Structure 1
Amino acid sequence: MTVRLVEPTTPSHRFRTTATPTLFDLGLSENPFAPLPSVLAAVTAALIQANRYPEFLPEELPRVIADHLGVSPDDVVVGAGATGVAMQVMRALDGGELLTSTPTFDGYPIMAEMAGMTLVPIPLDSGGGQDLAAMRRAVNRRTSLVVLCRPHNPTGTVLDAAAVRTFLAAIPHRVPVLLDEAYVEFLDPADRLDIHTLLRRHPNLLILRTFSKAYGLAGLRIGYCVGRGKLVERIRHQQLPFGTPTASVAAVRAAYGAGAELRDRVDRINGERDRLRITLRACGIDVPASHANFLYLPGPGVATALRRAGIKAKAYPDGSARITVGDPVAGHAVHAALVDLR
């Protein structure tokens, strides 16, 4: 499976038609549900102090996250979502090459350009997975950062844990590896990596996570990375003063305190994802098994059929699409739009 990121196009004025109204926006892999009630209550209570500046540099939020993960607060750097933290990482590395799979999260090519880094894209393998052997061969003296996504965006595939450990062992310690776990909460617990062991063995490893996906807090922009030693210190120096809202601390505390409700919500999203995949495969669409809150629908024609049905998706040049899952009503609309496509 080899697809490229969409390039912007300019529609013809001569043949322009009335745009189809968007009935469902499934393009950003957002959580379709509002934040958990206890989290909403905590954030609302915190807003009474919105007239006051937050901490000049965040200390409380890294401490809350570190306590939950069982690491030192010195190992945690927070920022404006996983995207904001990834940008801090790139700016700390001062140029060079960024090595990652293609397609990948749209933000990486954009941020690489902003940070003055050269993107080195490695095509996915035939099964839609990240080609670790090809990525390892592409590492050279110009490589400043390697990015792995687990689960992968946009296919939802998951790298084997043993393969990840082997890959990390083969990368020179001078080359930082960013392990993007934005969707880790959707993984089966048996598929999750032991981050403590990995961090102990690999001082060049950074683990990136977010509260935007499973926790449903995309609008609050809360992300973090975990690492060790001088590498994390360099990233922390990119911290924006007053950049972490006080409400973020309240939201994270409440989110961590609502573990049972979060698991129920994740199970609900995963269940709807798997049901929708089964119905779409019955329509003849070869949808790969996903371990995130989205499905990758191979083309051709899928993106166009969804658009004509008023369903906004992340589209790719070969006609494939990625859609957010979790809302049964939206899932029925996706099925209706694609049932006669093949």
Structure 2
Amino acid sequence: MSLSLLYYKITMKQDYTTTKSNNTTTQEKSRRNYTSISPPEIFTIHELPEWQRNNNNPYIKYGYLKETNSYRGCFKALSVWNNQSFNIAINLFTAVLFFLLLMIFADVYLIPNYSSTTMTDYIVINLFLATTFQSSFFNATASCFRIHSLAQSKLWSKISNLGIIFHLTTCAVTILYYCYYDNVFYFKLLTIFTFISAIGMTLIILTDFFDHPRYLQHRGLLFIMFGAFLTFAPLSLGILKFGKDKVIKRIDLNMLSVEVGLYLLSALFHILKLPERFITISNKYQLHSQNFFYICFTLATLCHLNLLVSSFVMMRTGEHKPTLVSFT
């Protein structure tokens, strides 16, 4: 073996050992930051590791936590107000609220006040409450673990997106139920079509291409198109089949319009990065686009609950008797 080749191998080995040592040292410093008695530090976006800079909003300059490389560190970070604290708080509030509604709403309100409530009504309402709970819980968990590491950030981002898909799909199915409760064929046909669309959307969001920060705007637009399609396709068919006057007796179109508007507004906040695109956010207490996204999303969810309750009442007091399967 020549001396030059031997020198090259020794040099490469030393470089590898030094790089590995530096990476290990960085991770150890990060762990010590989150396991020490003092609270974790807040950093600017320029002080973050490269993967965090690429996965965060460049218009927000301050209020970040560095990667923890530990679940314990992620939970400890909850004690410090940062850019994700509001997201975690509002999603946990929504998750607790809808979990309580899941436990008591149908049993305490619907059944005692409407003795004609069927098992189908019970399942439809609780299905919406259950998927709303899981969506909010996944969003809160994703906001908590997004500082763990790049791998965990990608994983929980996909889980959070899946939760939103399940939520929008359930919203669409519940609208289908109240639009077509007296026509089993159309209900089954459109429900199957909705689930096929949801499966296609799920396969798209599970790809690494969809999860790339460069395609954030495309991701938001895709969610807008998916939600709009699930809403307007069955509604348009209902108007063509029954006429607008009969649809109004089944669905509160005004409340539906407010709900769709709030979902659209939430997506626009997220895509256009408002208001930080025009207002410099330099501290951890200012609201930003992701906060407004979750506010609008939560309000839209409450509008849908109101829509379901009013549609349920219109069904029970209307002229059409449900012909879907009931277990009364």
Q: What TM-score results when the alignment is normalised by the length of structure 2?
A: 0.25
Higher relative contact order (CA 8 A, sep 6+): 1
Higher strand share: 1
Higher helix share: 2
Q: What TM-score results when the alignment is normalised by the length of structure 1?
A: 0.24
Q: Looking at CA atoms only, which structure, 1 or 2, has the larger radius of gyration?
A: 2
